Amino acid sequence: MYEQVVAINIGLAMLLAMSLNIITGFAGQPTLGHAAFYGIGAYTSALLTAKAGWPFLLALPAAGLVAAVVGVLLGLFSVRVREDFLAVTTIGINFVVVAIFQYVELFGASLGLAVPKPVLFGLRFGNTEILILLVILNILVYLFIRHLPTSWLGLALGGVRNEEDAAASLGVNPDHYKVFAFGIGTFIAGMTGSVYAHFMGFISSSDFAFPVSVGVLSMAVLGGLGTVSGPLLGAVILTLSPEVFRFVSDYRMLVYGGLLVLMMRFQPQGLIGDDSFLRRKWIGLFSRGKGGE
């Protein structure tokens, strides 16, 4: 069903946007290669189920773990280099990972990989089951992120993002938390990749190329980096807009690029970030509303 497929795409996009938000929004580390981890998860899960015969329920966390291992390595690398170097290095990782998927025989090379549909307790997964799984995962990740800003981990990450030197002088080791954020963010991206692979039934390297990373970052930025629910809003808007604007499909990229430019120029904090026009309206509506989330 068309609506189900759209809903699944939104569910996947929300998970990706939230996971990127942990790294870029909460820990302040720019990343332009998130699709690489999404892809690592997808290929891990595909190989484990199709070639090694693992059940989906085991392959799902395994996909997250493999992605997280690479993510932690990137995190360890990130603490050595400057922010701008990191942004470019993440682009580089995206290109290298996609090139490996595309040229190494094990990953199906240019033919891609067929992925079996998951079976759980005799129940063969269709789109409905995938959708239920995505809802569960989204709720879990959302609860984690909602809890994050007030937890010790979130406070440490905020300190690292805003005043790294000050945080360090108070006994917070910024490097540990950056690596931690990379680990969690890429773990979620890897699991999302696993769900994507089993939903599609077929994956190829171009599904995880650089434009996908730009798309995910745009979602988080559009909604508001570092906000709890902004990335969700961004994911919904950017996943739905190609469907809604199908009648101008020839101008899609033009509109998309233009939107990004205008958004950054006039609402760089995102739709529901601090002092955005939506938030000001919202606070105006409930003059005693909670503005300082």
Q: What is the largest CA-CA distance in the chain?
A: 61
- Give the binding range for another protein (CB under 8 A) out of 62-70, 126-134, 179-187, 262-270: 262-270
- Identify which of residues 54 and 77 has a Cβ nearer to another protein in the complex: 77
Q: Is 96 in the site for another protein (CB under 8 A)?
A: yes
Options 82-90, 120-128, 137-145, 235-243: segment touching another protein (CB under 8 A): 82-90
User: Interior CA angle at 85 toward 208 and 23, to 5°?
Assistant: 55
Contact pick of 54, 65, 69, 89 for another protein (by CB under 8 A)? 89
Binding status of residue 259 toward another protein by CB under 8 A:
yes
88 interacts with another protein by CB under 8 A? yes
The piece of 92-100, 119-127, 128-136, 276-284 that touches another protein (CB under 8 A) is 92-100
The site map against another protein for 213-232 (x = CB under 8 A) is -x--xx--x---x-------
Counting residues that bind another protein (by CB under 8 A) gives: 45
Q: Is 288 in the site for another protein (CB under 8 A)?
A: no
Question: Site residues (CB under 8 A) for another protein?
Answer: 24, 30, 32, 77, 80-85, 87-89, 91-93, 95-96, 99-100, 102-104, 164-165, 210, 214, 217-218, 221, 225, 250-251, 253-254, 256-261, 263-265, 268
